[in-house]
Amino acid sequence: MKNHSLNKMSVVSVLSAMLLQACSVQDDQLAMPVKQVDDVEQKIKSIMSTMTLEQKIGQMLQPEIRSITPAEVEQYHIGSILNGGGAFPANNKHASIQEWVALADEYYHASMSRKPGRTPIPIIWGTDAVHGHNNVIGATLFPHNIGLGAANNPALIEKIAQITAKEVAVTGIDWTFAPTLAVVRDDRWGRTYESYSEDPAIVKTYAKSMVQGLQGRASDAFSSNHIVATAKHFVGDGGTEFGDDQGNTQLSESELFKIHAQGYYTALDADVQTVMVSYSSWNGQKMHGQKYLITDVLKNKMAFDGIVVSDWNGIGQVAGCTNDNCAAAINAGIDLFMVPDTWKTWIANTLSQVKSGIVPMSRIDDAVTRILRVKLRTGLFEAGAPSTRELAGRSELVGSTAHREVAKQAVRESLVLLKNNNDTLPLSPELNILVAGEGADNIPMQNGGWTISWQGTGNVNGDFPGGSSIYQGIKDKVESAGGQALLSKDGHYITKPDVAVVVVGEQPYTEFLGDIQNLESLEFEQKNKKTLRLLQSLKEKGIPTVTVLLSGRPLWVNKEINKSDAFVAAWLPGTEGDAIADVLFKTNSGDVNHDFSGKLSFSWPGDACQSIVNVGDADYNPLFQYGYGLTYQDKHTVNLLSEKGAALLGCQLQSGKPKSPLLVDLTTSQWQVFIDSAAGQHTPVDHNEIITPDVTVKPDQTGMSVTANFNPNSQSTISIRSDELVNLLPYLAHNATLNWLVRVNSPFKGNVKARIDCGLPCSGDVDITDALQRNSVGEWQTLSIDLACYVPGTDLRKVISPFVITASDALSINLAGGSINIADKPADIQCAK
């Protein structure tokens, strides 16, 4: 894009930001002078005077490339498009840079068509370049924001943003939906890694650096090296109760702004051109319908004069709205509508709402004015077709050595050393190193979500040309120094190694699919302690271990820390895995190569249920404090940590704060286990083992679970019953799942069914054989079953027992209750509604 002076605006906004910072966020003290440049405003007026209502409404849309053709862009006067996570030219994940540019050209030319009845207005294409240009094969992918927060280096952040802007510009795309300015307070949120810090201070500083790097500073703003940035998600996305994705942030206005809006002040100060609205609610009302915060506060008081864009189908969540019909969101002040697929009916509905006066014409004019203002101000009108722009198609810039060097620096600076007993690190590169664990040679895992695909799943190392795994870096280091690196995922070896580097962590996830649910805690591998077993076996063999944790959030890893000599939180470092070895290993001459400098930007939990622990809390008591991080100069010993993990039933029992599930807790008097015989005999299981011809049931010492051993051809069932009838019908409307915590104790044949009973002849059942068979014997498993599976034959209003289990052959199984849960994840066992 071409140069366009923003100097005047910048002065005004600096002054207003100073004003802002000096005062409270409420009241008219928030007032900021409106920043506008005369010639731009004149041009907007003259363009608007040629536009019909249909053209204006088309400008306000942002469909997704999978759901709109260039011809439709021309026909419907569409103002913007996006590619969602995992959307590529021609649906080809390996699309070349030239193919990206060619597609951008097609949409651009469609938007500039001069057919009669059209006003040519350049289209603006947005993408989620949230840790580098992460939808494009071969791009430089940086650590996710949580790692950048630990690096706490604003100058580095600006460089990262500049590189991201360049790589995006190479593909002919104009705009990124970044930075995320969430200040995450409950680490169970699946988007914790998209946040720089739990503390507003880092977010506030970084917001400015990021926007300056992406858009350019005033002197070179929107030169061909830059793209448009987005401050998202306005506002309170990181403050939802229970860390629920798209949940509710319950706070006073001043707390909301003090904690969650700090990044917006600095982003606006750096002239961010767009703001994306949050899926979340503020005090029970969806942000997408929040006129007060969007119009009165953001647009009027904070004087934001750019584009307010909605999130992906976010308008459909406003009360009374659907994805293609939401006057309330327009009237609340949203200007550009990310309606990825149902955009045609959105046009029809919006047209009729304007005609009937439900949406005032003045609101449409304001929205289009802002869209044109951003397009004019950023030079899009003069930029020409994407392929003609300075950086377009220069594929040598994508993933260039220079760019990767900056990413490697970011990786090194993001690492936080949590434990280094007996100076285990740095390692000599002359040693014989065992490199173990699922993450050791796993570039997809290093990258987490928002990587090529939306969830970051379905990728292999080969999808990252130019990138490197952690193992690769170790191998290069030690082989050049005469040492050896043996890669063995499960830790097996023939020659005993001098030391083991174990790389483990979370599998990729994005958004709600990464939420930690009610019955789960922050405990790492709670149900299958495979890393712990690996560390234990290495310890037994006397091999010192260095554990490198790849994760999108702090996790409760006390047991694993105890079994490791050194422990590194590496977050989600991106494509440059080899940079980790720069810090773990000495130089060939035995000096420290790169020391650790990363410091926790998120407090580290001291127990598995401590998901809400933030610096400044009145009862602040983390395991490792905000700002903690050892260096090679520190002689600090981490003593044996408490190993009391989460209860089998998870955390809410301890915190006394259930979300909204119905808990089936065997330790309470409400719930009781019964053996029900075919002859109609019901035997309660209390404290003792009960042996019947069909089945033996034994409660465990805690009372939280029972072991049930079914004999072959058993006619009996085991049920968990409530002392009163339970009404499950209201849960049905919320896609509820029944989640049962079970453990199969030995291999079994035959079928197993889970039933709901509501009194004869009322019941429904689901075959759970396959789901049980999929899990390892001896491991706890949460079996989630769609409530809808039970609908045929069941009166959900009067359930006696939500969990009745039968087996057609011998089966030994442990049952530990569970919950009936409002679903935000697809169930293991699903049924058509």
Q: List the interface residues with ligand BGC, window 339-378 (CB under 6 A).
A: none
3-state SS class at 72: helix
Minimum gap (Å) between residue 318 Cβ and ligand BGC: 15
> What does the H/E/C string look like for 655-717?
HCCCCCCEEECCCCCCEEEEEECCCCCEEEECCCCEECCCEEEEECCCCCCEEEEECCCCCCE
Minimum gap (Å) between residue 175 Cβ and ligand BGC: 11
Q: List the interface residues with ligand BGC, window 116-145 (CB under 6 A).
A: 128
Residue number with CB closer to ligand BGC (264 or 279): 279
Q: Residues 6 or more apart from 8 whose CB is under 8 A from it? A: 35, 37
| Cis amide bond preceding 465, omega within 30 | no
Of 80-88, 266-274, 361-369, 660-668, the window that binds ligand BGC (rule: CB under 6 A) is: 80-88
3-state SS class at 554: coil
Find out whether 233 and 178 touch, Cβ atoms under 8 Å. Answer: no
Q: Residues 6 or more apart from 160 whose CB is under 8 A from it? A: 132, 142, 148, 210, 213, 406, 407, 410
Contact between 84 and ligand BGC per CB under 6 A: yes
Find out whether 35 and 371 touch, Cβ atoms under 8 Å. Answer: no
Residue number with CB closer to ligand BGC (211 or 673): 211
Minimum gap (Å) between residue 131 Cβ and ligand BGC: 12
Residue number with CB closer to ligand BGC (85 or 622): 85
Q: List the interface residues with ligand BGC, window 497-516 (CB under 6 A).
A: 511
Burial class (CB in 10 A: 0-12, 13-18, 19+), 25: buried
Tracing tokens 């999108």 back to the chain, one arrives at: 552
Q: From CA 755, how far away is CA 597, in angstroms rounded?
A: 55
Find the binder of ligand BGC among 305, 311, 335, 525 (CB under 6 A).
Answer: 311
Minimum gap (Å) between residue 251 Cβ and ligand BGC: 20
Residue number with CB closer to ligand BGC (135 or 353): 135
DSSP code per residue over 352-377? HHHHTTSS-HHHHHHHHHHHHHHHHH
Residue number with CB closer to ligand BGC (279 or 803): 279
Residue number with CB closer to ligand BGC (317 or 472): 317
Minimum gap (Å) between residue 127 Cβ and ligand BGC: 8
Residue number with CB closer to ligand BGC (312 or 740): 312
Contact between 100 and ligand BGC per CB under 6 A: no
Residue number with CB closer to ligand BGC (79 or 483): 79
Of 79-87, 156-164, 206-214, 814-822, the window that binds ligand BGC (rule: CB under 6 A) is: 79-87
Q: In the bound complex, which residue of the shown chain has the CB atom lying closest to ligand BGC?
A: 84
Minimum gap (Å) between residue 54 Cβ and ligand BGC: 26
Residue number with CB closer to ligand BGC (511 or 525): 511
3-state SS class at 45: helix
Contact between 312 and ligand BGC per CB under 6 A: yes
Contact between 85 and ligand BGC per CB under 6 A: yes
Residue number with CB closer to ligand BGC (139 or 820): 139
For 92, the token pair is 């080809």
Residue 311 a catalytic site member: yes
Find the binder of ligand BGC among 265, 454, 671, 710 (CB under 6 A).
Answer: 454
Residue 23 corresponds to which amino acid? Answer: C
> What does the H/E/C string look like for 481-515?
HCCEEEECCCCCCCCCCCEEEEEEECCCCCHHHHC
Of 85-93, 471-479, 607-615, 754-762, the window that binds ligand BGC (rule: CB under 6 A) is: 85-93
| Max CA separation in the chain (angstroms) | 90
Tracing tokens 């170790």 back to the chain, one arrives at: 474
Find out whether 425 and 474 touch, Cβ atoms under 8 Å. Answer: no
Minimum gap (Å) between residue 275 Cβ and ligand BGC: 12
Closest-CA residue to 277 (of 252, 312, 245, 323): 312
Residue number with CB closer to ligand BGC (226 or 232): 232
Binding mask 31-70 for ligand BGC (x = CB under 6 A): ----------------------------------------
Residue number with CB closer to ligand BGC (199 or 311): 311
Residue number with CB closer to ligand BGC (84 or 491): 84
Q: Residues 6 or more apart from 801 whose CB is under 8 A from it? A: 674, 719, 720, 721, 722, 755, 756, 757
DSSP code per residue over 84-135? -TT--GGG-TT--HHHHHHHHHHHHHHHT---TT------EEEE--SSSSTT
Closest-CA residue to 752 (of 739, 736, 765, 764): 765
Q: List the interface residues with ligand BGC, window 612-671 (CB under 6 A).
A: none
The total of other beta-carbon atoms located within 10 Å of residue 28's CB is 7
Of 78-86, 113-121, 466-474, 693-701, the window that binds ligand BGC (rule: CB under 6 A) is: 78-86
For 559, the token pair is 């047991």
Catalytically annotated residue among 74, 198, 244, 311: 311
Contact between 177 and ligand BGC per CB under 6 A: yes
Q: Residues 6 or more apart from 481 whose CB is under 8 A from it? A: 428, 429, 430, 588
Q: List the interface residues with ligand BGC, window 549-588 (CB under 6 A).
A: none
Find out whether 165 and 218 touch, Cβ atoms under 8 Å. Answer: no
Q: From CA 395, how far away is CA 140, in angstroms rounded?
A: 12
Burial class (CB in 10 A: 0-12, 13-18, 19+), 724: exposed
Sequence-ordered strand ranges (E) for 152-273:
175-176, 230-234, 248-249
Contact between 86 and ligand BGC per CB under 6 A: yes
Query: Measured at the alpha carbon of residue 370, what is the angle toward residues 366 and 373, in degrees to the nearest 5?
Result: 135
Size of residue set near ligand BGC by CB under 6 A: 12
Contact between 449 and ligand BGC per CB under 6 A: no
Minimum gap (Å) between residue 538 Cβ and ligand BGC: 40
For 619, the token pair is 């009862």
Q: List the interface residues with ligand BGC, window 674-733 (CB under 6 A).
A: none
Minimum gap (Å) between residue 454 Cβ and ligand BGC: 4
The total of other beta-carbon atoms located within 10 Å of residue 413's CB is 22
Minimum gap (Å) between residue 552 Cβ and ligand BGC: 15
Indicate the pairing of strand 80-83 with strand 124-127.
parallel
297-to-242, 246, 283, 419 alpha-carbon distances in Å: 27, 21, 16, 45
Of 81-89, 421-429, 632-640, 813-821, the window that binds ligand BGC (rule: CB under 6 A) is: 81-89
Binding mask 267-306 for ligand BGC (x = CB under 6 A): ------------x---------------------------
Catalytically annotated residue among 438, 511, 525, 665: 511
Minimum gap (Å) between residue 178 Cβ and ligand BGC: 8
Q: Residues 6 or more apart from 27 whose CB is under 8 A from it? A: none
- Residues labelled as active-site residues: 311, 511
Residues that bind ligand BGC (CB under 6 A): 84-87, 128, 177, 232, 279, 311-312, 454, 511
